[in-house]
């Protein structure tokens, strides 16, 4: 992935003169990632306090002036989703009232994204509701990483920059030598075929598809595997791992079809409930994820590999502030 030129990186890392008038703040959801993004950009992470009142209400206090600045707010709306989303809305209101010139929300993980359409009568489209709340609260631009569904971009009435973490995963796989092995890239469902195809092109490998159905949320039935996986190392790629049940069932089906090994990769490590232990105990040989969502220490396990994404997010922020193209970062991937 073409992350910045050498001169532009040096310029931002030494004095940040081209980033004058820009400030980056991070909420409590993933402050560590916010600090690493600030380090990449060569700027100080903005001072903001996010605490609770005695009754549990969220209190936000911006500890420095934002008047007239191009403000970026980094906050994934991950678990606890209701709290992190509400904190983001309150931060937006605070900066809007603080006379920030422009406010961009950077959401490495967009919560409620799986409720992006009506499947049954009387269901909400919560992904659209979250987009409306963020826009009304004051966001003038939104940056997301690997949305669960591409159409969520259209739920916003403001510009949305959709970043892809696939090149980070692809470069890791190439560095580990998987591009030289007998590999097949597997999409865990029909909706993820384009993501799998892009990774397959990076690794010069064929693809396979798992056709499945979900009788209810977090439950999956494997229906059929399309493609030849016999004698192959399978690399399954998805946008997120939640309970882990889907990828574990998929890995078991691939091994029954003759696969020699199954690795799993995903951008967002949601890892709900006992997912970490279930993945460690499963037939999956390795789990590769990005750090869009912080993973608590008790959910780390030996098979887990975490890839950093601060360069991707930091470079997108730099380009947005300087009115440069963001989409060209992913010319090869798409």
Q: Do domains 6-164+310-330 and 166-307 have the same CATH topology?
A: yes
The ranges assigned to domains in the chain are 6-164+310-330, 166-307
pLDDT at 334: 58
Q: Regarding the domain delimited by 166-307, which CATH topology (the fold level of the hierarchy) does it fall under?
A: Rossmann fold (3.40.50)
**Tokens (6 digits) for 89:** 């809305």
**What's the CA gap between 27 and 48, in Å, rounded?**
8
Output the pLDDT for position 218.
55
Per-residue b or e along 253-263, where b marks 16 or more CB atoms closer than 10 Å to that residue's CB: bbbeeebebbb
pLDDT of residue 212: 72
What residues are annotated to the active site? 212
Among 299, 294, 279, smallest CA distance to 80 is for 294
Q: Give the pLDDT score at 130.
A: 98
pLDDT at residue 191 in the model: 87
159 secondary structure, DSSP code: -
- Beta strand 160-163 with 102-107: parallel, antiparallel or unpaired? unpaired
pTM for the model: 0.90
Map tokens 């409720």 to a residue. Answer: 115
CATH 3.40.50.2020 fits 6-164+310-330, yes or no: yes
pLDDT means per 10 residues in the chain (334 residues)?
44 59 97 98 97 96 97 98 98 97 98 92 96 98 96 96 96 91 92 94 95 64 85 97 93 95 98 97 98 97 98 97 94 69
* Predicted pLDDT at 215: 58
Classify burial at 21, counting beta carbons within 10 Å of its beta carbon; exposed 0-12, middle 13-18, buried 19 or more.
exposed
At 70-82, the pLDDT tens digits run 999 999 999 999 9
Give the C-alpha separation, 185 to 179, whole Å.
11
CA 224 to chain centre: 28
DSSP 279-321: HHTSS--EEEEETTS---GGG--TTEEEE--HHHHHHHHHHHH
């Amino acid at each position: 992935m073409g992350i910045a030129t050498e001169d532009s990186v040096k310029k931002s890392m030494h004095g940040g003169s081209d980033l004058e008038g820009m400030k980056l703040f991070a909420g409590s959801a993933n402050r560590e990632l916010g600090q690493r993004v600030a380090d990449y950009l060569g700027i100080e992470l903005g001072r903001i306090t996010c605490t609770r009142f005695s009754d549990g209400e969220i209190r936000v206090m911006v500890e420095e002036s934002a008047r007239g600045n191009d403000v970026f707010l980094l906050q994934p709306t991950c678990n606890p989703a209701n709290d992190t989303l509400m904190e983001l809305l309150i931060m937006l209101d605070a900066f809007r009232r603080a006379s920030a010139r422009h406010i961009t929300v950077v959401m490495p993980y967009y919560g409620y994204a799986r409720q992006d359409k009506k499947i049954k009568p009387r269901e909400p489209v919560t992904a659209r509701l979250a987009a409306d709340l963020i826009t009304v609260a004051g966001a003038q631009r939104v940056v997301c990483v690997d949305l669960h569904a591409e159409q969520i971009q259209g739920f916003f009435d403001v510009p949305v920059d959709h970043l892809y973490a696939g090149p980070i995963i692809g470069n890791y796989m190439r560095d580990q030598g998987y591009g030289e092995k007998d590999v097949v890239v597997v999409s865990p469902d029909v909706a993820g075929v384009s993501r799998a195809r892009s990774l397959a092109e990076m690794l010069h490998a064929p693809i396979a598809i798992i056709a499945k159905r979900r009788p209810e949320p977090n439950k999956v039935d494997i229906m059929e595997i399309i493609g030849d996986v016999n004698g192959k190392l399978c690399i399954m790629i998805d946008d997120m791992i939640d309970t882990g049940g889907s990828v574990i069932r998929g890995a078991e089906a691939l091994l029954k079809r003759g696969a020699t090994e199954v690795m799993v990769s995903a951008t967002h490590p949601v890892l709900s409930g006992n997912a970490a232990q279930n993945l460690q105990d499963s037939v999956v040989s390795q789990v590769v994820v990005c750090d869009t969502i912080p993973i608590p220490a008790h959910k780390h396990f030996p098979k887990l590999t975490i890839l950093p994404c601060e360069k991707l997010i930091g470079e997108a922020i730099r380009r947005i502030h300087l009115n440069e193209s963001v989409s060209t970062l992913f010319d090869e991937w798409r």
